[in-house]
Structure 1
Amino acid sequence: MSESDTQQDPDAAINEPRLWRDRGWTAQVIKNEDDEGWAVAMYKAGEAEPALVGPWTMGRDKKNPKPLDVNAFNTLVKTASEVIRRHEQALYAQLHRELKLDSEAGRLLVTLDIVPDEEAPHALLAAFDAAGERLAQVRVAPGFKLSQASAAAWVEAGFERPRSS
């Protein structure tokens, strides 16, 4: 595939020894700056930073990298997708808290979701009944501490916005 073809269609598949692009992913074999070997960088379409960078195997001549092939590319896509999924799960865990609470209305799920907005960071405190129906939601400070005590106090106050927020 010529360079002008890839410039005309940036989503076109590329299958070259050091560059593969397909299904929204690009694998690029690069010189490893840390040593004399090679590395492979996996980029998700639209992202400037690689999702994964790892060592790459030397070819038979022990100087050049082993060429990319369909099996290696598929493995790299799977691995990079897993890295992104784990990162998203870790971020979600940092920004989301939940607990269960027994109340007069029955068992409730109380959640706190932090919204890391640069201009107006905040959190959303919400209560859900056993069927998953949202009973209430209020905006609170991003530093609001969700605990059994704070959740119970909020429920007992009729879901009024906590004063500390």
Structure 2
Amino acid sequence: MSDQEVQLIQEDRVWQGKEWTARVIKNEDDDGWAVAMYKDGHAEPALVGPWTMGRDKKNPKPLDHNAFNTLVKTANEFVRRHEQQLHATLNKSLIIASDGMDYKICLQIIPDEDEPYAYLSALDMAGEQIAKVKVRPDFKLNQTSAMKWVQSEFARMD
């Protein structure tokens, strides 16, 4: 078997498919079971949720192809929503008018672990960048701060 022909595990408590692994685990909060969804290459689960008890009311219901596909769909949606929320948190913009011109002012936060920073940029309504400066990651973008920056002719913000 070559490296590209990896055998996928498809058992009662562990099921692998393209990009995902589902693991049925003991629920730490009670006597029940949970399922953890791991995206390939990640040590932490992307999603953990309750899992159904089997007929004996002691052991978990076995994983199968249909359950796995549903779990993958749910996990992908969860990851997508998380990424959208993170993007919205790190990227803000607003439109302001000054001296007969409309500007789109954007704040992009770069969440570097050691030294986070941000960029404040101004675009005209055609999407052309007029100015860009580095700012603190906690810079508060609002109508007042954007107008002040435009009126300073896009001076550095220290």
Q: Which bracket does the TM-score occupy, shorter chain normalised? A: 0.7 to 0.9
Correspondence for 2:56? 61
Query: Does residue 135 of structure 2 align to residue 144 of structure 1?
Result: no
**RMSD in angstroms over aligned alpha carbons?**
2.1
Match of 1:120 among 106, 115, 120: 115
Query: Does residue 91 of structure 2 align to residue 96 of structure 1?
Result: yes
TM, length-normalised to structure 1: 0.84
Correspondence for 1:71? 66
Query: What is the CA–CA distance in structure 1 between the aligned matches of 2:53 and 2:138, rounded to whole Å?
Result: 50
TM, length-normalised to structure 2: 0.87
Conserved? CA contact 1:114–1:122, under 8 Å: yes
Q: What is the aligned residue count?
A: 157
Counterpart AA for 1:73: F
Q: Which ranges in structure 2 are unaligned for 5 or more consecutive residues?
A: none
Q: CA deviation at 1:97?
A: 1.8
Q: Structure 1 stretch 88-97 or stretch 33-42: which is displaced more?
A: 88-97
Conserved? CA contact 1:29–1:38, under 8 Å: yes
